[in-house]
Structure 1
Amino acid sequence: MEAKAHRSTSRPRAPSRPTTPLRPSSRSSFREAHGYSHNISSAEYNQPAINALEPQFAELADSMADLEANFMHLQLMHESLTRFSESFASFLYGMNMNAFCVDFPEAPITDSFKRAKQAEAQKDAEIEPTRPDDGEMTFL
C-alpha cells in the first residue's frame, strides 16, 4: 500500500498572486501626520495635506535634474572613450598589418647580437698586448 500525502484541492493558489490584497492609501493619514484637523470644515485646515510635502518634492525634482545632467555628461564621456578606442584599435590593427606586410632587413636578429659580442671580445683581446708594460719607463 502506498502512502501519499494529499494536498487539499479545495483552495488552489497561483504562485505569483499576492496573498494579501492591496489597500488604497487614505487621505486621513496625510492629515493626521501633518497636524491637520480631522474635520475638513474646521477653521484650522487651510491647505491640502499634500502641500506639506512640497519642499521634499522640490528637492527631489532638483536632484533628478542634477542626476539627468550627470548622466548626460557620462554619456558624452562614454562616446568620447568609444571614439578613442575605435581609433586606437584601428591604429594598432594598421601597425600589425604593416608588420606582416613590410620586411625590415635592417632589424637585428639573434645572430647579430652574437656577432656583436664576439667583435667586442676580439677588440678587447687586441688592445691588451699593445699596452707598454715596461718597468724602466718613468713618467714625468
Structure 2
Amino acid sequence: MEFKIEIPGAPVAKGRPRVCKFGTYTPKKTKDAEKYIQQCWDAKYGNLIPTEKPLAVQVAFYMPIPKSTPKKTVKEILLGKVFHTKKPDLDNLLKTVLDALNKTAYKDDGQIFMLSAKKEYSENPKTVVWLQEVE
C-alpha cells in the first residue's frame, strides 16, 4: 500500500534538545511542527493502525524563496537552475518528519529500509511525504 501526505507551510528543521537545570526538552517550534505533521497524517489516514511492514520513504521539501532574492535569481529558481543549499540542513528537516510519523504512520522508524529526500525552492512552501509498504 502507498501513502502520500502534503503538509502545507514552510518545512521546519528539528531543533537540538535544550538542557536546563530541570532536564532536557525539545524546542517549542519543533514540537509544534511535529504535532502539525501528525494532524496532517490523521486528517487523511487517521483511522489506520500504524504499519509494521518494511517501508520505502520519499520526502520532498519545498522551501520558501527569500523575499530579498533578486528577480533574476527568482526566475532561475523557478526554472530549476538554482538549488537550495542553505540552512536548514536536509537531515534535520528529515528528522522532524520521521519523528512526527513515528508511532503514527508506522510502529518504529527502524522499518524504513530506503530513504530518498530533496529540498528545493518553491513559491508554494510545503512538505510532501510518500510511504510505500513493501511485502
Using structure 2 for the length normalisation, give the TM-score: 0.17
Higher relative contact order (CA 8 A, sep 6+): 2
Q: Give the strand-richer structure, 1 or 2.
A: 2
Larger Rg, first or second structure (1 or 2):
1
The structure with more helix, counted as a fraction of residues: 1
TM-score normalized with structure 1 length: 0.16
